[in-house]
Structure 1
């Protein structure tokens, strides 16, 4: 059975996007620097890419990301957009299909679509919702050595016990994996 995994790049001061997130700057001011590690830490990036079977996407992340991605960030991979504003499924330019649903239904459908691969979560808000409902299984954090000074916080008041899963990998970022402990 697939796991629901938040795979996220985060600044040392805890932000997943810079300040002033908007259509012209979907990662906020300076936020694109959070992904610079991907060019240097190729093995980590390849492992993440190979693990993706489906995605769960917050509605705002979908709205801001559809144009630059042309679909999901992984061509052909289905995405399940968590929203109260449902609509008909949409096929992205790169072959990924987006389905629009509520949180629990999106998780159920994404797990079925992913098979034995991971369901990756895109969006800090939807990640917080999943954590709060006990639907998030793992965190894969790429800790980037920058300070953004503001923006979208990774977690804001949520509590969870994290269990390290493997040793940190260092490179252009420090790559950490945790399982979410169940109470």
Structure 2
């Protein structure tokens, strides 16, 4: 059975994006290596430059991934990834109002769930078929954490202090959540941290 895990690039002071959803600083490490990796977002190609460690992290995650669970805000900010997520897996979007333009589109990789978080998680796991489900978006990650549904957290910690922007773990409003360290991998411009969420 796959895990439900969230993974983010994050500044040292806890931001996954700066003001206006600017991600240039938290994603800078993806362009500092010597290995050329091409990813496709919609119809556009993006050339990454990863280190050996970064490539290994990405490949391991991509091979184990069967679906993504996204919040509506993430879906909008990413502009629906141009119609195709760069990891090329189906995306389940939790929303109150599914966008009609995607509902009517043939061969859409997006599934819209309107009846709550647990239903969206169940749908994503069904689509993943035993592989992992990745959670995309700060708000839906916090929802999964509060509901006790999140199994793992991956943080690509970037040595920068953004000072303001979008925080990942803001206002959780829950008892302390204990995490077990699964891995710490130093890399150029980033440290890859992996945790298991310890559940009661």
Which category describes the TM-score, using the shorter chain as reference length? 0.7 to 0.9
Q: Which residue of structure 2 lines up, in the alignment, with residue 169 of structure 1?
A: 185
Q: Which residue of structure 2 lines up, in the alignment, with residue 110 of structure 1?
A: 124
TM-score with structure 2 length normalisation? 0.78
Aligned length: 171
Q: Which residue of structure 2 lines up, in the alignment, with residue 2 of structure 1?
A: 2
Give the distance between the partners of 2:145 and 2:27, measured in 1 at CA.
23
8 Å contact 2:4–2:149 — kept in the other structure?
Answer: yes
SS at match of 2:59: helix
Q: Which residue of structure 2 lines up, in the alignment, with residue 160 of structure 1?
A: 177
* Gapped regions of structure 1 (runs ≥ 5): 22-27
TM-score with structure 1 length normalisation? 0.85
Larger radius of gyration: 2
Give the distance between the partners of 2:192 and 2:150, measured in 1 at CA.
18
Q: Which residue of structure 1 lines up, in the alignment, with residue 19 of structure 2?
A: 19
SS at match of 1:20: helix
SS at match of 2:85: coil
Aligned Cα RMSD in Å? 2.1
Q: How does 1:132-147 map to 2 (within 5 A)?
A: 132-147=146-161
Q: Kindly indicate which of the two structures has a greater share of residues assigned to strand.
A: 2
Give the distance between the partners of 2:186 and 2:194, measured in 1 at CA.
12
